[in-house]
Amino acid sequence: MTLDELRVEIDTIDDTLLELYNKRMDYVHQVGELKNNVGAPIYRPEREQSILNRLKSKNSGKLTDLAIDALFLEMFAVARNLERPEAIAYLGPEASFTHQAAEIKFGAMSAYLPINSISGVFREVNRSTAKFGVIPIENSSNGIVSETINCLKDYDLKIIAEVFIQVHHTLASTCNSVQEIKKIYSRDIAFNQCHNFLEDCGLDEVELIPVDSTAKAAKLAMEEKGSAAICSDVAAKMYHLPILFQNIEDRDDNKTRFFIISDFENLPSGNDKTSMLVRLTNTPGALVEFLNDFERCEVNLTKIKSHIVEGESIFFIEFNGHKDDLHIVEIMKRHEDVIKILGSYVKENDDI
């Protein structure tokens, strides 16, 4: 085929896709009306995951699994926004890693609400200013985020999904070389994650100024001569801040895990993970006895973290499975006085 003939074929396929997209949106609208009648949530992560799994199993073309995720997750987001626009609160500002995590699940055209604190995200979702909240729960280098655990304890909201993103940092500045840099803006956690790079380049001796977010760091560095920012490439590009070095983090497997919270619970998907908080009595063997019940029922515990809240030790525990799975319900009932179920949701990954 000639180039012109190929373009005609592509245009014909695009016309067909447009017709099919609109037809799909019509059906989504009908589903939305039925959900409105019964008060059901418009966003069902387990349903979206089952669609993606089915499509990947049927795929025999050039599209990779990641490409299928990218195409269809954006289409799901467009459908939700056409049907019932709902705000998504996230730990801001714009271009933060949490914002990027939010866009992975909710697409580019959703209504986003940047919030300055994790507790603020919980508060706005709890008061229904936003339908969903996106907050970090743990980083592979820095561990569990204490504020998130505290808020999960204090609010009766549910985890409905998890998101993992690879965290890459850049050094961005209007300076032409590192020798011209007199100060660097970033978050404390980012300074820690890039310690080796800073030391190797002699930048550990310049003034390191902690700020609320790496996106804010990029904005400040753009405005101030002789300064730089450790930030994401997205934040640097957003503020038109030239990137001097990319991927400066100490670990190339640096990942952050995020939770999506809302006011409803998911149905079982067949590939779920459950998070819970457990408050045990301070007596010998209490934890072992609790954990043995899971072992007897062959439930795979994937995370056990001790956390201090107001001077009292509680455990953040996760296991593979849904809280409504028959072999798990019995354990939940047996320990219901010490367990707070935080949510069951589609498992995106085993752990970070």
Structure tokens at 251: 């670990």
The answer to whether the CB of 141 falls within 8 A of the CB of 210 is no
- pLDDT score for 70: 87
Residues contacting residue 229 through CB under 8 Å, at least 6 positions apart: 171, 172, 173, 184, 185, 186, 214, 217, 218, 220, 221, 235, 236, 241
- pLDDT score for 277: 95
- pLDDT score for 198: 94
In CATH, which of 3.30.70.600, 3.40.50.1100, 3.40.190.10, 3.50.50.60 is domain 170-245?
A: 3.40.190.10
The answer to whether the CB of 271 falls within 8 A of the CB of 347 is yes
What pTM does this model have?
Answer: 0.85
Q: Which residue has the tokens 């085929």?
A: 1
The number of angstroms, rounded, from the C-alpha of 275 to the middle of its chain's C-alpha atoms is: 15
3 state SS of 144: strand
The segment(s) of the chain belonging to CATH 1.20.59.10 are: 3-83
Fold of 89-165: D-Maltodextrin-Binding Protein; domain 2 (3.40.190)
- pLDDT score for 319: 93
3 state SS of 339: strand
Superfamily per CATH, domain 3-83: Chorismate mutase (1.20.59.10)
- pLDDT score for 284: 73
CA 268 – CA 260 distance, rounded (Å): 17
The segment(s) of the chain belonging to CATH 3.30.70.260 are: 265-352
The phi and psi torsions of 62 (rounded to 5 degrees) equal -80, -15
Question: What are the start-end ranges of the H helices in 224-348?
Answer: 233-238, 286-296, 326-334
Q: Which residues pair with residue 230 across a beta bridge?
A: 171
The segment(s) of the chain belonging to CATH 3.40.190.10 are: 89-165, 170-245
Stretch (H or E) spanning 66: helix 65-83
- Pseudo-torsion of CA 304, 308, 312, 316, nearest 10°? -30
The number of angstroms, rounded, from the C-alpha of 249 to the middle of its chain's C-alpha atoms is: 20
CA 100 – CA 106 distance, rounded (Å): 10
Structure tokens at 145: 């985020």
Cα torsion angle, 46, 49, 51, 57, sign? negative
- pLDDT score for 311: 65
Query: pLDDT tens digits, the chain, 352 residues: what are they?
Result: 899 999 999 999 999 999 999 999 999 888 878 877 777 778 888 888 899 999 999 999 999 998 998 899 889 988 888 887 889 999 988 888 899 899 888 888 888 999 989 999 999 999 999 999 999 999 887 889 999 999 999 999 999 999 999 889 999 999 999 999 999 999 988 999 999 999 999 998 899 999 988 889 999 999 999 999 999 999 999 999 999 999 999 988 889 999 999 999 999 988 999 999 998 877 777 788 888 888 888 888 899 998 876 667 789 999 999 999 988 898 888 888 889 999 999 998 877 7
Residue type, 215: A
Pick the closest to residue 90 from 117, 65, 67 (CA basis).
Answer: 117
The answer to whether the CB of 231 falls within 8 A of the CB of 222 is no
Evaluate whether the domain defined by 265-352 bears CATH number 3.30.70.260. Answer: yes
Residue 241 has what DSSP assignment? Answer: P
- pLDDT score for 57: 94
Structure tokens at 334: 């047996």
CA 52 – CA 169 distance, rounded (Å): 30
